[in-house]
Amino acid sequence: MNGADTEDDSDPRHFLDIDDVSPSELDEVLDLALEYKRAQQQGDDHADLEDQTLGMIFQKPSTRTRVSFETGMTQLGGHAVFLGEDDIQLGRGEPLKDTSRTLSRYVDAVMARVFKHENIEVLAEYSSVPVVNGLTDDAHPCQTLADLLTIREQEGGLEGVSAAWVGDGNNVAQSFALGCAIAGIDLTVATPEGYGIDETVFERARDLGGDPTVTTDPIEAVSEADIIYTDVWISMGQEDERDVRMNAFEGFQVSSELLEYAPEASVMHCLPAHRGEEITDEVIESDRSVVFDQAENRLHAQKALLSWVLE
């Protein structure tokens, strides 16, 4: 039943950052993701969202986000509608709150990939159906779900795992820090001075029971890590900062030399990767890399998330 027909006045279950789920809800979503993954591998039907529609708003382009959500809805028996900024009135100056209220009358859920985090908050405030954050400049919680699913598969669980983030304290890093706190993962973050995770995010992580270690030394960060995670140094919209950032991040590359200090660690990257910058081609192609398992898990984790928000 879509937003136009529903008579349920209860608040929709939004997912704007990873700490919108409790530890038990995180386990619930990850358990369901593994069920869906097994069902797909075995060819079993799992059309749990039959005839439901996901509206997908994209201000930022993406490979993994679009394809995983669209494919996921199809596999769940539903349908996804791609809405680029130039395809809807949003690109012609319609207020977000009007777009949100209108879409709520047509679709069962909205996924939005936007620039400002306040934009996803406005969409959620005025929506009568669940809103999922596909990415903002501050957060990437869907990626964190896939990350935690990958770590759980790789390590046999989450509690007590040691992870190192090496590189830019960007939106992926911020959601990952919160996800580690919820999951009981021991996190060390290594970033250059001036490029760290926002202190308010660390405060939220501590409120969730986490205790992230912060350093400017990548070797210190990875020395006891089970998981090493990195992302691009130059994100969309930061191209004019390229020269400054390349100088600032010297020494933070995830390379074979860095991995010598963590001989058993697996390597993660959310993709797309700038090979030869934040990570070497040798590492991403090595048997230490779980990068493409991680990319696949976007599909399974997001199917579980969609089922959870539409429960």
> Has residue 6 got a pLDDT over 70?
no
> Has residue 3 got a pLDDT over 70?
no
Domain-located, residue 3: no
205 with 177: CB under 8 angstroms? yes
| Cis amide bond preceding 272, omega within 30 | yes
> Has residue 91 got a pLDDT over 80?
no
Q: What is the pLDDT of residues 117-130, one digit of tens each?
A: 999 999 999 999 99
Q: Per the structure block, which two tokens stand in for 23? A: 């530890």
Cα–Cα distance list, 157 to 33, 176, 221, 264, 303 (Å) = 14, 16, 21, 16, 20
Answer positive or negative: Cα dihedral of 85, 89, 93, 97: negative
Which strand ranges, in their side-by-side order, compose the sheet holding 109-113?
Answer: 79-84, 53-58, 109-113, 131-135
100 marked as binding residue: no
300 marked as binding residue: no
Domain-located, residue 7: no
Domain-located, residue 261: yes
76 with 49: CB under 8 angstroms? yes
Do residues 246 and 272 both lie within one domain? yes
Do residues 196 and 129 both lie within one domain? no
Do residues 183 and 270 both lie within one domain? yes
Do residues 243 and 119 both lie within one domain? no
Q: What local confidence, expressed as pLDDT, does residue 2 receive?
A: 44
pLDDT category of residue 259 using cuts at 50, 70 and 90 = very high
Domain-located, residue 1: no
- We report the CATH number of the domain holding residue 132 as 3.40.50.1370
Tokens 């770590």 found at: 151
> Has residue 165 got a pLDDT over 80?
yes
Percent of the chain having pLDDT more than 70? 96
Greatest CA separation found in the chain? 59
Do residues 287 and 197 both lie within one domain? yes
| Neighbouring C-beta atoms of residue 61, cutoff 10 Å | 11
Domain-located, residue 9: no
Q: Per the structure block, which two tokens stand in for 192? A: 């250059």
Do residues 150 and 78 both lie within one domain? no
271 with 291: CB under 8 angstroms? yes
214: nearest Cα among 227, 202, 230, 206: 202
Do residues 131 and 170 both lie within one domain? no
46 marked as binding residue: no
Measured CA to CA, the distance from residue 106 to residue 84 in angstroms comes to 17
Tokens 């957060």 found at: 139
> Has residue 4 got a pLDDT over 70?
no
Give me the count of residues in the chain.
311
> Has residue 150 got a pLDDT over 80?
yes
Do residues 285 and 150 both lie within one domain? yes
> Has residue 288 got a pLDDT over 80?
yes
Q: In the predicted model, what is the mean pLDDT of residues 163-172?
A: 98
Measured CA to CA, the distance from residue 20 to residue 27 in angstroms comes to 13
Do residues 54 and 168 both lie within one domain? no
Do residues 126 and 68 both lie within one domain? yes
> Has residue 241 got a pLDDT over 60?
yes
Measured CA to CA, the distance from residue 174 to residue 18 in angstroms comes to 10
Q: In the predicted model, what is the mean pLDDT of residues 158-171?
A: 97
Q: What local confidence, expressed as pLDDT, does residue 5 receive?
A: 42
207 marked as binding residue: no
Q: What local confidence, expressed as pLDDT, does residue 162 receive?
A: 98
Q: In the predicted model, what is the mean pLDDT of residues 158-182?
A: 98
Beta strands 162-166; 131-135: pairing state: unpaired
Domain-located, residue 4: no
Domain-located, residue 192: yes
Run of H or E residues at 296 = helix 291-309
Do residues 237 and 149 both lie within one domain? yes
142 marked as binding residue: yes
Q: What local confidence, expressed as pLDDT, does residue 9 receive?
A: 52
Domain-located, residue 2: no
**Number of structural domains in the chain:** 2
Residue ranges making up the domain that contains 62? 14-140+298-310
Do residues 149 and 288 both lie within one domain? yes
The per-residue DSSP string of 62-93 comes to -SHHHHHHHHHHHHTT-EEEEEETTTSGGGGT
Residues serving a catalytic function are: 113, 140, 143, 231, 270, 298
- Average pLDDT of the chain is 94
